[in-house]
Structure 1
Amino acid sequence: MIEQQVQLPDGRTLHAYDTGSTGVPVIWNHGTPNVGAPPEPLFAAAERLGLRWISFDRPGYGGSTVDRGRTVASVARDTEAVADALELDRFAVVGYSGGGTFALGTAALLGDRVSAVVTLAAIAPYRAEGLDWFTGMVPSAIAALGSAAAGADVREALHRSGFEYDAGFLPADFEMFDGPWGWLGKVAGPGLDAGPYGQIDDDASYTRPWGCDPRTITAPTLLLHGTADGIIPASHGRWLAAHCPTATLQLHEGASHFTIVEHAEEGLTWLAQQL
């Protein structure tokens, strides 16, 4: 794994990861709160399919500079900067949870530069017409995102109050964490080592205008979502599928916000077929 700091014109830096110089480039967008190291459980599949993982810590996570007030579009520009630094003309994007939203934003903003998109449990735009955004979320998700919708300062106050997030884990989630996808725990703790603003600013960005429109995505897009997702309900996936003209939705019956990652390898296989 190659790790490097990418310097941005505004003085910020992004901590980037690269699994190697060969293979079709795929940029991984991590979840909230994680660092950006690409997903180890998918390394073997990526090698088999001829894919090269690239990723970075979003601002405020790991080794990347905080960027208060960031949006989905500004993170897409950060993605563009990483791609430019690595001299990538075109690339695919994959994202899990909130990372799926940033993957969609990158495809919307960068157009033909993005060759294909796969998301797992992506978040739809806040106040999207025809979507009851909070319905089906566990109480902790409503508290975190509801406070973020009131402002990043309100979300920060919730954090400072000692708020503890209860993800509502299901028995199948605990079983999954005992296997290869226990890796999610490996990247979650370090996600907050640099301070709380990665998570706070992620949550705030999900409730701000994106600064780009997912309905303009032209790249082939696969949306994976679980019907038992209590953090980002499947209604978000349905809305995205209905409004993104190149999107296909695969709903997995009984899959949670966490066990949906067990279907990531089939998403990668689909991705490789588009490239």
Structure 2
Amino acid sequence: MDLGVVEPERAGTTALPGGRRLGWAAWGPVDGRPVLFCSGAAMGRSLGFGAGLLQRLGVRLVAVDRPGLGASDPDPGRTLDSWARDVADLVAALGLRDPLAVGFSQGAPFALACAAAGVVQAVAVVSGQDDLGDPQLAGLLPAEVAGMVGAARTDPAGFEASLARSMNAETLWRIVMDTSSAADRAVYTDPRFEPAYRRALAEGFAQGAAGYARDLALTFGRWPFALTAITVPAHLWYGAHDPGATHSPDHGTRLSRRLPNARHHLLPDAGAALLWTHAEEVLAGLVAPI
């Protein structure tokens, strides 16, 4: 199975107007349609997807480290809205025309923030986390997740500080393995994938756990934008074998109902790792003419 994971072809950091720098990595033709990749929990910029497809599809994939992760400078007070502004500045600095976005797992709220701010022209949400505090999900979340959502919304500073003390790359790897389906574990432990995934997690925690903790506080906390106000095309991709507590086929169905221009895809043979097992479908659907 070709999971489309190779070393970045280009990587760098770009200064934002305020002086902070964002780290990024890129694959594919430099004149291709820009697709910004908002990766999953604590994943650094080196883990891409679909590498063997990019030239044929005319895609320039650009993975961006969120502030405090990988090669991006910290921004302790950041929000989902400020992330979208950072990405808009990066797009301008790199000269990326008419960008699109992919958000995987915990990266989905960050991709949706860019869509809500008008930074991207379309978005693909892959095994993406929903707004877990939405009333539609009340009573459907596992007790542990519901407790974390409550803590993130009632005591965000304490929630963030606790995570920053307790999390690291190895702990997160074990959590992923313990909560994944057999189909997904087969992908994550593939000898060509596991080293790249572990390297990306090491990058994500290279500055400590504060960046990851801030990410979780933002995605579990109150989102500052309304999903119903996102009018760009939103392609939602979920696998039937995704047992995730924060993203699942059921969550994808509910999310699709609140996005005005949603196109919902449920793949019966896939799990949460469909970004790597079904990359062609995701990318081809995203770049197809509207």
* TM-score when normalising by structure 1: 0.86
What residue in structure 1 maps to residue 255 of structure 2? 240
Tell me, yes or no, if structure 1 residue 148 matches structure 2 residue 161: no
Amino acid aligned to 2:184? D
Q: Secondary structure at the residue paired with 2:252?
A: helix
State which drifts further: 10-19 or 57-66: 10-19
Tell me, yes or no, if structure 1 residue 115 matches structure 2 residue 105: no
Amino acid aligned to 1:153? G
**Residue 10 to residue 43, structure 1, CA distance change in 2 (3 Å):** same
Identity of aligned residues (%): 29
Give the number of equivalent residue pairs: 270
Check the 8 A contact 2:184/2:271 in 1, yes or no: yes
Check the 8 A contact 2:163/2:213 in 1, yes or no: no
Q: Secondary structure at the residue paired with 2:284?
A: helix
Quick one: distance in 1 between partners of 2:102 and 2:59? Answer: 12
**Residue 132 to residue 225, structure 1, CA distance change in 2 (3 Å):** farther
Check the 8 A contact 2:164/2:212 in 1, yes or no: no
State which drifts further: 16-25 or 116-125: 16-25
**How far did 1:246 drift?**
0.6
**How far did 1:158 drift?**
4.1
Quick one: distance in 1 between partners of 2:17 and 2:158? Answer: 27
Q: Secondary structure at the residue paired with 1:209?
A: coil
Quick one: distance in 1 between partners of 2:191 and 2:234? Answer: 28
What are the Cα deviations for residues 81-100 of structure 1, in whole angstroms up to 9, with x where unaligned? 11010122311111111112
What residue in structure 1 maps to residue 236 of structure 2? 223
Check the 8 A contact 2:238/2:274 in 1, yes or no: no
Tell me, yes or no, if structure 1 residue 132 matches structure 2 residue 138: yes
In structure 2, list runs of 5 or more residues that go unmatched: 1-8
What residue in structure 2 maps to residue 193 of structure 1? 206
**Residue 104 to residue 179, structure 1, CA distance change in 2 (3 Å):** farther
Check the 8 A contact 1:97/1:121 in 2, yes or no: yes
What residue in structure 1 maps to residue 266 of structure 2? 251
Quick one: distance in 1 between partners of 2:181 and 2:130? Answer: 23
What are the Cα deviations for residues 100-155 of structure 1, in whole angstroms up to 9, with x where unaligned? 22111101111xx5222111122222422322286158x5x566555434313323
2:26 to 14, 18, 33: 18
In structure 1, list runs of 5 or more residues that go unmatched: none
What residue in structure 2 maps to residue 204 of structure 1? 217
Quick one: distance in 2 between partners of 1:161 and 1:186? Answer: 20
Quick one: distance in 1 between partners of 2:139 and 2:210? Answer: 23
* TM-score when normalising by structure 2: 0.82
Quick one: distance in 2 between partners of 1:76 and 1:229? Answer: 29
Q: Secondary structure at the residue paired with 2:121?
A: strand
What are the Cα deviations for residues 142-189 of structure 1, in whole angstroms up to 9, with x where unaligned? 665554343133232244257945232332223212165433333122
Check the 8 A contact 2:32/2:59 in 1, yes or no: yes
2:162 to 153, 157, 175: 157
State which drifts further: 224-233 or 87-96: 224-233
What are the Cα deviations for residues 215-254 of structure 1, in whole angstroms up to 9, with x where unaligned? 2222221101234332323333222200111111112336
**Residue 12 to residue 134, structure 1, CA distance change in 2 (3 Å):** farther
2:287 to 247, 272, 275: 272
Q: Secondary structure at the residue paired with 1:249?
A: strand
What residue in structure 2 maps to residue 34 of structure 1? 43
Quick one: distance in 1 between partners of 2:284 and 2:121? Answer: 14
